[in-house]
Structure 1
Amino acid sequence: MPHTAKLAALQKRLGHTFRQPALLAEALRHASSLQDQPAAGAHNQRLEFLGDSVLHFVLTDALFRQFPEEREGVLSRRRAGLSKGEFLSRLARDLGVDAGLQLGQSEEDAGGRGRDSILEDALEAIVGAIYLDADFATAQRVVLGWYGSLPERLKAMEGHDNPKGQLQEMVQPAHGNGALRYEVVKATGPKHAQEYEVAVLLNGRTIGSGRGTSKKNAEEEAARIGLDTLRHERAERKE
């Protein structure tokens, strides 16, 4: 798909049509792209700085209004969950941000299009771009549209806060405490920005694998996949 068509499709999924398309292009332009195209324009780090603050205020305001009985500590924890890198990178993938990224060839070859940190930064940059293209009210409406119902989103997230513990609880009655093992399959990227792929094995059989910017995040993602695998297998046995 030509780049202009990708941007049009992305704007539709984002829920905002840019009056200044150059802002969206800048939000998607990773610093590595300037190695190959130094005259392309500014990369997205300044927009990411702005968008991070806009995103946090949108979430702070929404949580404050929707949960009037909750104390500051609970609201802070919920905001952190809704704005953490792992969550934002998944949200970016759901919106199709990865397809629109502008990367340098070296970063592209290293798998940068799927890198959590790059997707997180791009999504925050897009928030900043929407704010500049329109106003805060528009950015607020668009961002909350991405999240959907915050109570439902938080319920789903809080049920997945400890996937490794959930997997252990599922496995332990039948297989004992030592049946699970997590293994790093590979690590890519420079040392200061590595992405890990981790597999979880049940008695030597791989039941899930995950990727993340830390071993912990990758293990948690692998555990989520492992949970899905075992639940699916149980459902098939019952049929």
Structure 2
Amino acid sequence: MSAARSHKNKMTQAREVSLQELVSRLQLPTQDISLLNRAFTHTSYANEHKSKKIQHNQRLEFLGDAVLDLIVGEHLFKTYPQMTEGELTKIKAATVCEDSLASCSRALGLGEYLLLGHGENSSGGRRRNSILADTFECLVGCIYISTDYATAMQFVLSHLQGYIDQAIAGKRGKDYKTLLQEFVQRDGEKHIHYQLLSESGPDHAKTFCMEVQIDGQSYESGSGKSKKLAEQHAAEMTLKSLDAMND
């Protein structure tokens, strides 16, 4: 069997078109659609299709994590010579943490291209911070292995520089609930309440949806695998919405 035919057996034409659209939309510096497909294939999907021997993205996640750490670390070291080791460590940690990577992944719409198992998908895995953060790492690993370090660095910094700037300004490293409280109370005392809107999924993998209410007025909602994570996501979305209104 030819390599091309084997490739087609593992990826439908619709899937290939979808990934080509992603490459075009984000101007991704890779033409290896097969590797890109692997980067967006979660272990839950591969486990549900064991007979097809589908390759999942965990190895790319491992590689992407290492490359991402080096890129951000090198960039901080060269760009901010006045920073101490402790400051560099704090800024890097705030930039490459799950919350930042998931936020970036969400902004790029990466979750829409994930192949997830039925259970993971129905329980909100496509919106889960841990999965979205891992997906960004997988994409970085894919770009690095199919191009080179310089290309991967350019991609990473083009999407994470804003998060680095936020970390340096002290807007990362704090939790979003604290940041939202500080933001809305600049003009006086206001009451923030987090309202449970819904919960779904089996007991071992529930997804909660929480809404931010400020002085009784409803704002943005967010989801997570616990109420606390859903509150953080809702606070993040509300903070972004309020920031946009003040621009």
Q: Which deviations, in whole Å up to 9, do the C-alpha atoms of 1:176-232 show, x marking residues without a partner?
A: 6xx332234344556676544222323444333223455444323333444566678
Structure 1 window deviating more from structure 2 (5-14 vs 157-166): it is 157-166
Q: Which deviations, in whole Å up to 9, do the C-alpha atoms of 1:67-91 show, x marking residues without a partner?
A: 1000111111111111111211121
Structure 1 window deviating more from structure 2 (41-50 vs 5-14): it is 5-14
Instruction: Report how many residues are paired.
Output: 231
Cα shift at 1:167: 4.1
Q: Which deviations, in whole Å up to 9, do the C-alpha atoms of 1:145-204 show, x marking residues without a partner?
A: 22246764545772794543454453486556xx33223434455667654422232344
Query: Aligned with 1:2: secondary structure?
Result: helix
Residue in 2 that maps onto 1:31: 43
Query: Aligned with 2:156: secondary structure?
Result: helix
Distance 2:244 2:145 in 1: 45
Percent identity, aligned pairs only? 34
Q: Is 1:68–2:51 an aligned residue pair?
A: no
2:29–2:147 Cα contact (<8 Å) kept: no
Q: Is 1:56–2:69 an aligned residue pair?
A: yes
Cα shift at 1:7: 0.7
Residue in 1 that maps onto 2:15: 3
TM-score by length of 2: 0.77
Residue in 2 that maps onto 1:164: 177
Alignment match of 1:180 (pick from 192, 195, 199) = 192
2:30–2:143 Cα contact (<8 Å) kept: no
> Where does the alignment leave 5 or more consecutive residues of structure 1 unmatched?
none
Query: Aligned with 1:50: secondary structure?
Result: helix
TM-score by length of 1: 0.79
Query: Aligned with 1:211: secondary structure?
Result: strand
Q: Is 1:130–2:156 an aligned residue pair?
A: no
- Cα 1:186/1:76, change in 2 over 3 Å: farther
> Where does the alignment leave 5 or more consecutive residues of structure 2 unmatched?
1-12
Residue in 2 that maps onto 1:139: 152
Q: Is 1:84–2:88 an aligned residue pair?
A: no
Q: Which deviations, in whole Å up to 9, do the C-alpha atoms of 1:72-114 show, x marking residues without a partner?
A: 1111111111111121112112223112211122322222222
